Amino acid sequence: MLKSSGAMGIATLASRVLGMVREILYAHFMGAGPVAAAFTMAFMIPNLFRRLLGEGALTAAFIPIFKEKEVTAGEVEMWRSANAVISGLMIAAAVIIGIVMLGISIILAFEAPAIAASADSLRSSGLILGTVNPGVVELGWLSAETRLMLQLLRVMFPYMLLVCLAAIFMGMLNARGHFFVPAMGTTVLNLILIATVLWLAPRFGKELETQIFGLAIGVLVAGVGQAIYLLPTMRREGFRYQWVSPWHDETVQLVVRKMVPGMMGVAAFQFNVLLTQGIAWTVNPQIVASFGYAVRLMELPQGVFGISLATFLLPTLSGLAAGKKYPEFRATLGQALGYLALGNLAASVLLTVLSEPIVRLLFERGEFDAADTRRSSFALACLAPGLVAFSMVNILARAFYALGDTKTPMKISVVCLGINVILSFWLIGSFAEGGLGIANTLSAACNVWLLFHALRRKLKHLGLSALRQNILSMAGGAIVAGEAAWLLSGAWERSIGHSGFIQKLGAVFIPLGVASLVYGAILLWLKVPQAQDFLGLLRRKGFRLGK
């Protein structure tokens, strides 16, 4: 488990690090003001489909069926079924894209945007119907931020089709035993987005309100690049695309039946973020950008530990459930939860304690100022305590899918979404970005508790008593490590400060490094099995490299 998910974790880490570089460049380029809020909100909507499909419901629904076809019907039928699903996916995505883009165009056409001389060249290109410029008197019924968000969304929304294709390719490659190559697909996407902000966007004019459309076009180019990158490996596995009518196809119908409820199960975190960001948009659009940067920082450890393990687990648990090997099923699930807690408990505490130095180091330059740092770090400090819960939801939902149950996680997610809405409305007025973080953290904790309770009823017992003790040891070690980081961070700030880049770097990595050593030493001293497993793997890898 550690080796397979670790290989994917390395690829995911590379992708997430590049994603962080992309966010650093975005922060420098557009800050956390109204334009950044419009872009963040517009990108979040099509990007949700990547989370739903590439890291969520489509993979969860399709992999067990794809594996079953390979075993029971042979490779010819397996690839035929895959082509039917791809054909159906393209039709559904094209219809949704057409409806959404038509709706946005109608709204913008009937809205009366303000006309500014500086927008003439961009408007004549046909990319937008209006733009946001300082000093322009707004004549339409849409706010400037909402109009810009819709214009950007109209450019980016076809990304949905591209990400659908990449998601189905990733799912098939995972089912064929490839984890590293599919995970590197997001690295390709991030490299293109980085090139976009450095090279393409500055060529879209002098104003940020027009340059931002270069980033939107870059999203489409990146989607194409990611899908093309996966094709050579698909062909080596024997895949050749052929149109197969999805109408009345048994495999397509089965995938749809499992995928629709599954969207609410494995993508609870993304739905919560989108929902709370929608609430924030109606209160103050600037909250959207500040909270968005905090979410990106959360996604680094969540992707490396949580998504990697969850992706490895689905085919493994599906095979154990198909063979009715329930003791092994429970043991594998418990092992995965232990490894997840090992990484994410420490990450959760350290992100909370060091939130302001981390945000300052990564983002505070260019258009991103000290006030933006305070807002984003406060959001991160309120969101980070829920990191373990967000990741556990992914793993527990996949346990249900491996057992053939997609409805239970959906029902639980609906309940928790309702809790999230109530808490967000209640807390955003008093705590702004922090209120959204608290709401997401509490609703995720509720989601985990309900999933554990439902899974225990389904499997009679979970056999996790030893895991509970180990997690308590990890939590104690993480708290001590967090205290060490807090003390060192305070001492660094008082004696050295953060006036230059080297000082900012030390303010993060000195407390982070010492706290990590403290955490590892405590867990090894307590003989926590997960820590010993991880150390043993590192030693074996180091020995092989040495030879």
Q: 241 in the Ramachandran plot: left (φ > 0), alpha (ψ -120 to 50) or beta?
A: beta
Residue 333 near residue 290 (C-beta atoms within 8 A): no
**CA 227 distance to own-chain centroid:** 18
Structure tokens at 11: 């690829």
Between 21 and 466, the higher pLDDT residue: 21
Confidence of residue 522 (pLDDT cuts 50, 70, 90): very high
- Lowest mean pLDDT: which of 112-116, 192-196, 520-524? 112-116
Q: Is the CA virtual torsion 130, 133, 138, 139 positive or negative?
A: negative
Between 259 and 163, residue with greater pLDDT:
163
Q: What is the Cα–Cα distance from 15 to 10, expressed in whole angstroms? A: 9
Give the C-alpha separation, 12 to 17, whole Å: 8
pLDDT computed for residue 246 by the predictor: 86
Show the tokens assigned to 358: 């981390």
- Residue at token pair 């980070």: 384
What is the torsion angle, in degrees rounded to the nearest 10, for the CA atoms of residue 394, residue 399, residue 404 and residue 405?
Answer: -60
Per-residue pLDDT tens digits for 437-463: 999 899 999 999 999 999 888 888 777
Q: What average pLDDT does range 53-61 have in this prediction?
A: 62
In 3-state terms, the chain is what percent helix, strand and coil (to 5)?
A: 85, 0, 15
The mean predicted confidence, pLDDT, of the chain is 81
Residue 541 has what pLDDT?
61
- 3-state DSSP call for residue 142? coil
Is pLDDT of 318 > 80?
A: no
pLDDT of residue 123: 46
Query: Which pLDDT belongs to residue 182?
Result: 78
Highest mean pLDDT among 185-189, 228-232, 393-397: 228-232
Cβ-proximal residues to 207 (8 Å cutoff; 6+ apart), any chain: 118, 133
In the three-class reduction of DSSP (H, G, I as helix; E, B as strand; rest coil), residue 237 is classed as coil
Listed residue (340, 341, 347, 369) closest to 28, CA to CA: 369
- Which pair of tokens denotes residue 36? 């950044």
508, two tokens = 């993060």
Check residue 117 and report its DSSP letter.
Answer: G
Residue type, 407: K
Position with higher pLDDT, 470 vs 323: 470
Contacts of 151 (CB under 8 A, 6+ apart): 108, 127, 128, 129, 130, 131, 213
* Type and span of the H or E element at 387: helix 387-402
Q: Using the structure block, give the residue that is written with the tokens 């180019």.
A: 221
- The DSSP 8-state label assigned to residue 179 in this structure reads -
Q: What type of residue sits at position 397?
A: A
Could you write out the three-class secondary structure of 196-212?
HHHHHHHHHCCCHHHHH
Q: What is the pLDDT of residues 480-517, one digit of tens each?
A: 999 999 999 999 999 998 888 899 999 999 999 999 99
* 148, amino acid identity: L
Say yes or no to pLDDT of 125 above 60. no
Q: Is the pLDDT of residue 518 over 60?
A: yes
Segment of 39-43, 233-237, 477-481 carrying the highest mean pLDDT: 477-481
**Greatest CA separation for the chain:** 72
Taking 60 as the threshold, does the pLDDT of residue 526 lie above it? yes
**Which stretch of 48-52, 275-279, 281-285, 428-432 has the lowest confidence by average pLDDT?**
48-52
Of the candidates 267, 298, 271, 287, which has an alpha carbon nearest to the alpha carbon of residue 421? 271
pLDDT over 70 (residue 227): yes
Q: What CA–CA distance (Å, rounded) separates 220 from 162?
A: 8
Identify the pLDDT of residue 542.
Answer: 57
Q: How far apart are CA 111 and CA 273, in angstroms?
A: 29
Instruction: Count how many Cα atoms sit within 13 Å of the Cα of residue 443 in the half-sphere of its side chain.
Output: 29
Nearest to 420 by CA among 262, 261, 267, 275: 275
Helices (H), 113-239: 120-124, 144-156, 159-175, 180-183, 185-195, 208-236
pLDDT in tens, 32-53: 888 888 898 888 888 777 666 6
Distance CA 346, CA 474 (A): 8
Average pLDDT on 416-431 reads: 88
Q: Inform me whether the pLDDT recorded for 63 exceeds 80.
A: no
Q: Which amino acid is at 261?
A: P
Average pLDDT over residues 406-435: 87
- Alpha-carbon dihedral angle through residues 161, 26, 185, 77, given to the nearest 10 degrees: -20
Band of pLDDT at residue 27, cut at 50, 70 and 90: confident
Q: Which of 205, 63, 179, 185 is nearest to 122 (CA)?
A: 205
Residue 268, pLDDT above cutoff 70: no
pLDDT of residue 373: 92
The answer to whether residues 21 and 316 touch, using CB atoms and an 8 Å cutoff, is: no
* pLDDT score of 264 more than 90: no
The pLDDT score that the predictor gives to residue 263 is 63
Distance of CA 274 to the CA centre of its chain: 11
Q: Please write the tens of the pLDDT for every residue from 382-402.
A: 999 999 898 888 788 888 877
Those residues with Cβ within 8 angstroms of residue 134's Cβ, 6 or more apart along the chain or in another chain = none
Q: To the nearest whole percent, how much of the chain has pLDDT over 70?
A: 82
pLDDT value at 132 more than 80: no
Report whether pLDDT(55) > 70.
no
The mean-pLDDT minimum among 10-14, 182-186, 280-284, 515-519 falls in 10-14
Please provide the size of the chain in residues: 547
CB burial of residue 239 (10 Å; 0-12, 13-18, 19+) = buried
Look at residue 446 in the predicted model and tell me its pLDDT: 94
Q: What is the Cα 429 distance to its own chain's centre? A: 26
- 137: pLDDT strictly greater than 60: no
